[in-house]
Structure 1
Amino acid sequence: MKQMIVSCDPNETRMALLDKGELVEFASERSSGKGIAGNFYKGKVMNVLPGIQAAFVDIGQKKNGFLYIDDVLHPHMDKQPSVKPNIAELIHPGQELIVQVTKEPSGSKGAKLTTHYSLPGRWLVYMPYADYIAVSKKVSTDQERTRLRHLGEKLRQDEEGLILRTVAEGEHDDAIASDLLMLRGLWKQIVVRAERQRPPAELHRDLGLVERMLRDVFHPEEDQFITDDTACMERVKQFLSGITSTKEAAQVELYRDSEPILQRFGVEEKLYHDFQRRIWLEGGSYIVWDQTEALTVVDVNTGKFTGGATLEETVTQTNIAAAQEIARLLRLRDTGGIIIIDFIDMDQDSNRRLVIEALEKVLIQDRTKAHIVGWTRLGLLEMTRKKAREETASFAYQTCSVCHGTGKIASWIRD
């Protein structure tokens, strides 16, 4: 059973997801300055730069959004030209177009944009022009994947594309059809708004943090939702009643104790442990987590662990335990981009495969797509993880204004 713990105050909403008591996700949303990932805008092309095959689009934010050539071509790979055309042949300065934000602006970079539109629902993801059907790889049986694929082909119209989500497994055809009808209507509303408004204009805002998590990970028949805010509780009940039966929506509870809700469920203590640079594992081994601008580096160490009968066995056990914890922390910290893991050297290929299998087993529970590239010549494991929003650390902790995150004191400074 999973528990969604939500703490609300006038300035911020914080959400923790516990799976069998273990903290697997944490997110925060401020009342002011909400994220824009997933939002739709009517934008105006300001610059087209053939040298980098990209364009900059004004969507009404502080910085223009970035639109790459791949996000302008047809979303179906089979319908893209074998040789990419010059982006200047496809769009031009002054052109108005509908774009969707796929990645939040960060630092000096504007938001990443696409014309490969997608609208996620409870049971499926609707793509108005993708022209293909896909079924989540996490659906457990070939028979169910075939059923969902045939249903998608039956329901879609014209060039529509559909992705049947994992939660659609075993769901009734009528519920999936109803979800599609709702998303199709939402897309038509976006198109109508785009015809009526001048750029830059917001056409559609994605769901807020709580509703987004309910849509994506909450199972009313199994999971529990607990909040310390009456208004949030009522909003959640109303939202769940729209996607499930009233009976199922009864899994919502109001927390009334005087002790802060995140403290009561041990979330604050877990966050303190999981966001340290050095993270100790059961048995005495530990990992060191370093974040750079370009990538994340994780170092695995045996520490005090001496468990195995041989050195190879000790190292393998340490690496497997570390792989499981690293996969959980990638999801919890919402780390994206390039990730390099320095596991302890192993002599046997079979043991290296065991480590990757342990990593994959936990990663499959992660809604964000991750890809394990493989081992380098130096014995490092390379992987990537998609990133759309700010990492959890950016709002769980603030960078020190004195050391700017280096955590060091200059040797020439005296008390």
Structure 2
Amino acid sequence: MKKMLVHGQKDMLQIAIVSDNSLYEYYMEKTENAGQLVGSIFKARVANVLPGMQAAFVDIGLPKNAFLYIDDVLHPHLERQPKEKPQINSLLQPGQELLVQVMKEPLGGKGARVTTHFSLPGRFLVYMPIADYIGVSKKVSTEAERSRMRAVGEKIRLPGEGVIMRTAAEGESLASLQQDVQFLREHWQEIHHRGETASAPTLLHRDADLVHRLVRDLLTTEIDQIWIDDGSVFRKTKAMMKRLAPAMLPRLQLFEPLIGGASLFQQDHIHEQLQEAFQRRYRLKSGGDLVWDQTEALTVIDVNTGRFVGTSDLEDTVFRTNLEAAEQIARLLRLRDIGGIIIVDFIDMDEEQHREQVMQLLERLVRTDRTKCQVVGWTRLGLLEMTRKKVREQKILPSRETSGNRD
């Protein structure tokens, strides 16, 4: 049983995705932020060009200038790029105005990372106005369906446009996909038209708020139930689902707690699971533990047997602990939204097949991560190296009051 729990308050919205009573995903957004910065489109002004770095800093109206690398200025389709990469100062000059889209939030003391490779996500596809190629989600189950979706993508795009068919497009009709791309195409035309007359720096488009992204990005056929404890959020979600996912409306329920009864998050112990997930030392059910240490760009996870002594076979004890650790690492990386380089110091295993099984399990589990995650492999020192895309600041754990109680 996979459930989505949505807890609404006056100043905050929280979403928890629970599978078999275990918390796998958690999202939080303050209502005054009205959407994340990633995906926002600005009319920017080039502040300065750095030929030695093949990059430029552009003013998008934030306290720190955004960073624009040359690869994000060239055409998004590799086949349309020049064979030899030009100098950045032949493409951009200080004072020049251009449209850019945020691909990474400002992190620490760094400004946002921006691109000119624009993309607008819809329910079934991602529309890229100048990409000139078709992509299909790697999570689509069969090659036949991938071929069908690619053929449909060719039919619905105009010359020069690009689309990426999302997993939600699996089995969808040509009409549904055509409607999705047409809506996004018209929206892009509005953004582009405003950009022609606006003065830089200015915000032209901000990605949807968390309620909209809930339906657009998080709602899949794997979700069996959607529970919402706030009336206004429930009505807004229901209206959005009628337009974007009408077949899933029977799964939507309004949670109304009994007087003195448990709240929506309390029923599934969401707060307790969050507190446990964000601790430096995370206890495994077997008695082993994970110890997390973080810097801005690197996370190190140390796996220990702890109180788990197994039976009589040390190799089996170590192997079982490492398998359990791999499962929890994949889950906790998503909950903590950790990005950058990740090094896992699993307990040393003597048998090569055990090392391979641990790595294969981790590879399989991270494929379900909505954020791009790659298992690189074992280093010469016996450490497992991974990377996970970092697009925003790490999540901040809310207090008990904001996690469990209603206003």
TM-score relative to the length of structure 1:
0.91
Of the structure 1 ranges 208-217 and 95-104, higher mean CA displacement relative to structure 2 is found in 208-217
Deviation by residue 1:151-198 (Cα, 9 ceiling, x = unmatched): 111221111111111121112221111111111111111111111211
Q: Which residue of 2 aligns with 1:305?
A: 308
Q: Which residue of 2 aligns with 1:199?
A: 200
SS in 1 for 2:32: coil
2:334 matches 1:331: yes
Q: Which residue of 1 aligns with 2:279?
A: 276
Write the letter of the residue equivalent to 2:124. W
Write the letter of the residue equivalent to 2:214. M
- Segments ≥4 residues shifted beyond 6 Å: none
d(CA) in 2 for partners of 1:248, 1:339: 37
Deviation at 1:19, TM superposition (A): 2.2
Deviation at 1:224, TM superposition (A): 2.0
RMSD value, Cα: 1.8
Indicate which of 242, 265, 268 corresponds to 1:265.
Answer: 268
Q: Which residue of 2 aligns with 1:172?
A: 173
d(CA) in 1 for partners of 2:222, 2:172: 13
Of the structure 1 ranges 305-314 and 349-358, higher mean CA displacement relative to structure 2 is found in 305-314
Fraction of identical pairs, as percent: 51
Of the structure 1 ranges 211-220 and 137-146, higher mean CA displacement relative to structure 2 is found in 211-220
d(CA) in 2 for partners of 1:202, 1:123: 26
SS in 2 for 1:357: helix
Deviation by residue 1:96-145 (Cα, 9 ceiling, x = unmatched): 11110111112211111011111111111111111111111111111111
Unaligned runs of at least 5 residues, structure 1: 399-415
2:15 matches 1:15: yes
d(CA) in 2 for partners of 1:395, 1:201: 32
Is the contact between residue 220 and residue 249 of structure 1 (CA under 8 Å) also seen in structure 2? Answer: no
Q: Which residue of 2 aligns with 1:256?
A: 256
SS in 2 for 1:125: strand
Q: Which residue of 1 aligns with 2:76?
A: 75
Write the letter of the residue equivalent to 2:24. V
Write the letter of the residue equivalent to 1:305. F
SS in 1 for 2:195: helix
Write the letter of the residue equivalent to 2:339. G
d(CA) in 2 for partners of 1:344, 1:222: 35
Deviation at 1:367, TM superposition (A): 1.0
Q: Which residue of 2 aligns with 1:377?
A: 380
d(CA) in 2 for partners of 1:294, 1:16: 26
Q: Which residue of 1 aligns with 2:151?
A: 150
Gap change, CA 1:281 and 1:395, over 3 Å in 2: closer
d(CA) in 1 for partners of 2:82, 2:345: 40
Deviation at 1:308, TM superposition (A): 5.5
Q: Which residue of 2 aligns with 1:407?
A: none
Q: Which residue of 2 aligns with 1:352?
A: 355
Write the letter of the residue equivalent to 2:323. I
Gap change, CA 1:395 and 1:204, over 3 Å in 2: farther
SS in 2 for 1:32: helix
d(CA) in 2 for partners of 1:368, 1:358: 18
d(CA) in 1 for partners of 2:399, 2:153: 43
SS in 1 for 2:38: coil
d(CA) in 2 for partners of 1:250, 1:355: 39
Of the structure 1 ranges 373-382 and 170-179, higher mean CA displacement relative to structure 2 is found in 170-179
TM-score relative to the length of structure 2:
0.93
